[in-house]
Structure 1
Amino acid sequence: MASATNGPTGDERSQSASVMSGRVLNHDSRQLNRSPYLLLPILHECCQSVGVLAMASATNGPTGDERSQSASVMAHLFSSYVNTGLYLARIGTIFSCLAFLFSPFFSGSDPAGIEVWYRRALLASAATSALRLHQRLKSFHSNGSSRAIFEALLAEDSFHYLIYSVVFAFLPPISVCLMPVFLFAVLHVTSFTQVLLNVSAARNNAATGDGPNVTVNNVQSSYVRNLLQTAVTKINANDQPILRLIALNEIMLMVVCIFMALSGPRIILLPFIYFPFLKMRYNSRRNPHSRVAFYELRTSLTSLARHPRCPGFASRMIDGLIGVVCRLGASGR
């Protein structure tokens, strides 16, 4: 009772302290022996966290190569501001044509709003043609006479479509007349987009020292750039069929103008206004697709008229139509 009441003596306390210290040392030695295995999960979690942060920084922030590519593209756009203006105007033409095409599918669209997009597309095309015509005729003002300038003006495709866009912009909407301006805008936008892609690729290769024929892809920009390059390549591969479709649309639009002139007095003069445009397209120097389309149509109609099962009156009508077109044209083929 006395010992229990008075507490342990000094010897007992020293013995218990030595026993506890031995246990602590044994426990610490076991923990130290197992410490590498305990640190493995912690190190694994740290590595995962660092990897996530690195991916987030690579995704959210632009790298030096991406900034250099953007700077080179912007420098090219500002250096050739006329071509940049043409590029933006053609993008506006494409957007307005698509808005006019898909506006009837939206419930909130009214006929007046649809007609606005139609006129915007043609006015954007007219602005593009006027700017392109000014760009083409700059060389004739210094070393050409007035007659040479006028002849060059009539031979330019941009002058043809300037007249075309202005005429149809002040008429009731005709959906098929937007097809040539839309397809021409797509072709020219594709061409300038290819130039911008080449500029960005050349800047990237020059920065990395890989040479002019090596394309360096970044993680973030590769998908967008490859998508644009695929679309540009497909359109460039089909540019001749697209130009042929434009030429056929120009010819078939004459038939549409004749039927529309018979439908009301407001546009009774439309065929007489459209025919000079079609004649200029036939005599175009830079675009032979209209002449090729006329020749193909003439060959097809002639073979149809000579078919044994073709009635006599239909054969005579076809021959008369071909004769009229050949006499009205500058040179019949």
Structure 2
Amino acid sequence: MIVVLRPSASPSEVEAVVQRVRLEGFQPQAAHDGDRHVLIFSCPDRSQRLRVLGQIRAMPGVESATEPARPYEVVAPHYEGQRREVSIGEIGCGGREFTVIAGPCSIESEESLALTISQLATLGVKAVRAGAYKPSTSPYGFQGLRKRGLEILRSVAREFGVATVTEVLDVRDVPLVGEYADCLQIGARNMQNFELLKEVGRQAKPVILKRGPGAKVDEWLLAAEYIATEGNLDILLCERGIRTFESGTRNTLDLAGAALARLLTQLPVLADPSHSTGRRDLVGAMSVAAVGAGLDGLLIEVHAEPSHSEKDGAQTLSLEEFETLIRPLKAVAEGVGRSLDSLHPTSAAATS
């Protein structure tokens, strides 16, 4: 059940509704929707459900009390035109400003990470991505520096004043990763790891939820619902490519599916042009296309020396390639009514 309280609801009115739900034997999950309080609880008995909803609707401060009309009711818009803005550190994603999160696939060393992040920060990047825990198809592949990687990430990020995004793979690691990172990432392979989704839903951290390569849009949104029903609505959806019959690219970037997810939810939607294409010569074109499709941001792999990257070098932009991409991103963002004021290429890149 979804109970939305008015922005004008007093603390005592909110608490009265919470106590009313608890009186029925339920423990509501609390979330915030802008300046509104949202309470979520489950009631399997239909007659009890109808009775409780009727009583709650009549309580002071209540805007609506409804049964879910859609399978992903919590992440869906609660009123026409609703968009949610999610903060990662000091940046907001989902508002007018288009968000670019960039960085290497993996944390390899403090020196390498500092070289990349220092130059990204100079270009205006406010949030960086880098993996300390790396899932690998092969058990012999590089799987990250783990806790040491987290320590390096936090140290370098603090030095250059940027927010951090990193992946968490295991329920047991959520508290540790949350201690070091500003935003938790659920990778494509874990999109339907339901216990992990529930655990990040209990954290006071934003979550980037990547779409699985074989997932339909509704399955992706239901995965987001798992997070939201635990009380965490600070979710960013990320389209990172789906598996099709095409073999020329690593995956197929489904911008139509990403745009649909944005229509069906209140959540910001990002695109990952690096993993979706697997080719650095396609990353720029797909990045620009994502802006034009109305998405809210990008998650791009950038490395100071892509040829020496431990993982995914073929899909990783050099710093020079990333800088050259800023100008077309800005132009298209302006054309669709968004801004990209935070990024500022050097004069040489701006005129190339």
TM-score normalised to the size of structure 1? 0.23
TM-score normalised to the size of structure 2? 0.22
Which one has a larger percent strand, Structure 1 or Structure 2? 2
Which one has a larger percent helix, Structure 1 or Structure 2? 1
Q: Which structure is larger by alpha-carbon Rg, 1 or 2? A: 1
